[in-house]
Structure 1
Amino acid sequence: MTTEQFKEQYNSANYLPVDYYPWPNLINPHVEQMGKDMDSWIDNDYTFLTEKQREKYKRMRLQYCTARMVPNLSYEHVMPCNKFMLFYVVVDDQLEYAPIEEIERQCERLTAILKGDQPRPDENGMYLHASLIRDEYRAFMPEEWMERFIEDFYRTFKYGIGVETPYKAATRPPSLGLFKAIRQHSVLMYPYLCWGEIEPGLVLPKELAAHPIMQHIKNLMVRVIAWQNDFHSLPKEIAHKTEVFNLIPVLQLEHNISLLEACTEAFNIHNEELAEILALHKEYREFGIYQEHVDKYIHNFGLMIQGVNTFYLQDTMRYLVGGEGFAWPERENAEINAEITEKKD
């Protein structure tokens, strides 16, 4: 089967259909207003993007991703989550081909703003939104949570966005083992998982959040979402030779198998790690007075996994075949590929 034939026949819903996961499939009742808010931010604050890019971000309907991940939050509590969704997606997209030095500079500056720095007059709306996200969260979340959220943002930014760059330049992924270790951060999910604590009385004490079992479950959750993303984004990525960070082509190359065989292997990996989450949660009941908190926290994680899957399948144009719905950095793809090839030579 050729790559073109594969693209014509492939459907991620054959692997991960709606309601695949064992958690409720819900949506926040404020999603319509959230969409109006997001369109307004794109038009009025993200003016550093081109008109074409802004229209593409509107068609992505990222508010649905937020609304499905945190379906039970009030409008007040969901607002900074929705801001962060747009903010971090734009940051990741627009640094797609940036030099490591630029990625590190942006990481340090945006983290400094989340910690308390104010945007300078010459900085664009992305920096303004970083300060708004910070202030809106601080209005109802304790400092302990803020520190965890900012640390997760910094860690995924520094070790997730930039670390892919050499492999994209070489148009070849790392080995499967190294890919898994990198992908866990490059999917950028850790700060989003902090949303699982945005509920009265649910913020976990530091020692409980750092518990090895909790950390392992979080790592598994992130990996399941990464593999989920790889299934749904494959049609976008397979047309771009620099988009090498996807479990399916990594498995194909590692084991010298067809794309369809790699899909089967990736699906098995996804299901094994999902089963491990459920087994660990069922077996380990040693959190004492915090067991109910942990159960709710993990339930909220599950809502995110289920919700993101539905978003991919029903709500967005972000992952169209060939990347037509993606807001690529302004340089043309041919120009990018030529530059990468030149650097490689």
Structure 2
Amino acid sequence: MNEELVVPKCYYPWATIPSPIATDFDQEEIAWYDNDYTFISEEGIKRCKIQQLSQVATYMNPTCDSIERMRPCARLMIYITLFDDYFGLTPVKELKAIADRVYEVMLGDDPQPDELGILRQMAEARKEWEVFMPRFWIERVSLNFYEFIVYGMLEEAPFKLAEKRTYPTLAHYFSFRKYSIGMGPFGDLIDPCTNFALPVHIHKHPLIKRANELLALIIVIQNDFASLKKELDIEGEFMNIVFILRHHYQLSYQEACIEGMRIHDEYAKELNEIHASLPDFSPYQEEASNYVYHIKLQISGCADWYYNSGTKRYESKAFIVPQYGREGDDIFIPHRDFVK
């Protein structure tokens, strides 16, 4: 392929705010890897340590200056990312059983000593949240994590595990990718980071639900652009909006990027309009507006992390080898595009 591909960057019609504690968990996360992620190979742990995953939590929740409130959020950012990386090729029946166990631990059942250490991180985060968050919020983030696995990863599995590549339609892709991107539980981190749990009846309002859905859809496209250069180098990788648009609509890579960005910008515009036209949530009007504002900050903060944190996550050979994967699954293939 001789095509030169310029991957667009994502911009937003609202401000990006720097976190005052952006790098404060860099050393702690190394200890978490060494103590609780020993089921990952030594080489895999080396790859994890240069990704700066805890900073995603701080970049995406930049108004939080509390180490105590941010610590379990940083734990979640790491364990949701590595859960997806490690179990991404796990057979459906086995993964469903793991999802059930994760849900039990996040709700209150402590893991046994012989269980995977990632469950200890989940239990520790839950205990830290229980100090200052209400039970209904614990149940909310636990259910959203369960749905991340069941409605996201499990729905992706038939495509990832199929012997013959089959592209989902764009609508189907968004239907499961909005869960597997993990923004259900990660959006829930707005509450501990702002030290206010949005009441259930407000959280379930259709406009708030749509704002949360837009958070996920925008991050899906943002992530697809950020990872495109790496994924062009991975043989068999096709779970990316650019690949899907290119396949179904016979577009060039550049045309697919332009169309993907158009969809992204429409979603960002819709989110801005929702924020500007919220209904009466009295006596929680200010809190509801602040919640949607922080959804917007999560989006621009994530882009800031991709572009400015120095993470090595999307460089070659940065991902861990998944369970049921093979060392070398992420090797270069010789026909990659030149990407700017």
TM-score, with structure 1 as normaliser: 0.89
- Alignment length, in residue pairs? 326
Deviation readout 1:206-258 (Å, 9 max, x if unpaired): 11110011111111111011111111111122223432211111111111111
Distance 1:57-1:29 versus aligned 2 partners, 3 A rule: same
Deviation readout 1:91-136 (Å, 9 max, x if unpaired): 1000121111121111111111111111112112111111101111
User: Counterparts of 2:156 and 2:23 in 1: how far apart (Å)?
Assistant: 35
8 Å CA contact retained: 2:106, 2:142? yes
- Structure number with the higher helix fraction is 1
- Alignment match, 2:147: 155
SS in 1 for 2:49: helix
- Alignment match, 1:246: 240
User: Counterparts of 2:289 and 2:116 in 1: how far apart (Å)?
Assistant: 41
- Alignment match, 2:63: 72
Q: Residues 275-314 of structure 1: matches in 2 within 5 Å?
A: 275-314=269-308
Q: Which of the residues 73, 90, 108 maps onto 1:98? A: 90
8 Å CA contact retained: 2:72, 2:128? yes
- Alignment match, 2:171: 177
Q: Residues 220-235 of structure 1: matches in 2 within 5 Å?
A: 220-235=214-229
Q: Which piece of structure 1 moves more, 261-270 or 307-316?
A: 307-316
* Cα offset, 1:287, TM superposition: 2.3
Q: Which of the residues 80, 83, 94 maps onto 1:88? A: 80
Q: Residues 1-345 of structure 1: matches in 2 within 5 Å?
A: 2=1, 5-6=2-3, 9-12=4-7, 14-16=8-10, 20-73=11-64, 74-168=66-160, 169=162, 170-199=164-193, 202-315=196-309, 316-320=311-315, 323-329=316-322, 331-332=325-326
SS in 2 for 1:84: helix
Letter in 1 for 2:312: M
CA RMSD of aligned residues (A): 1.9
Identity score, percent: 30
8 Å CA contact retained: 2:235, 2:330? no
SS in 2 for 1:288: coil
- Name segments (4+ residues, structure 1) moved above 3 Å: 9-12, 333-337
8 Å CA contact retained: 2:142, 2:185? yes
Distance 1:251-1:86 versus aligned 2 partners, 3 A rule: same
User: Counterparts of 2:282 and 2:191 in 1: how far apart (Å)?
Assistant: 18
TM-score, with structure 2 as normaliser: 0.90
Deviation readout 1:291-338 (Å, 9 max, x if unpaired): 211111011111110111111112211112xx422223264366799x
Unaligned residue ranges in structure 1 (runs of 5+)? 338-345
User: Counterparts of 1:58 and 1:11 in 2: how far apart (Å)?
Assistant: 29
User: Counterparts of 1:240 and 1:173 in 2: how far apart (Å)?
Assistant: 16
* Cα offset, 1:201, TM superposition: 6.0
* Cα offset, 1:204, TM superposition: 1.5
Letter in 2 for 1:23: W
Distance 1:230-1:289 versus aligned 2 partners, 3 A rule: same
Distance 1:298-1:126 versus aligned 2 partners, 3 A rule: same
Unaligned residue ranges in structure 2 (runs of 5+)? 332-340
* Cα offset, 1:264, TM superposition: 0.6
Distance 1:336-1:31 versus aligned 2 partners, 3 A rule: closer
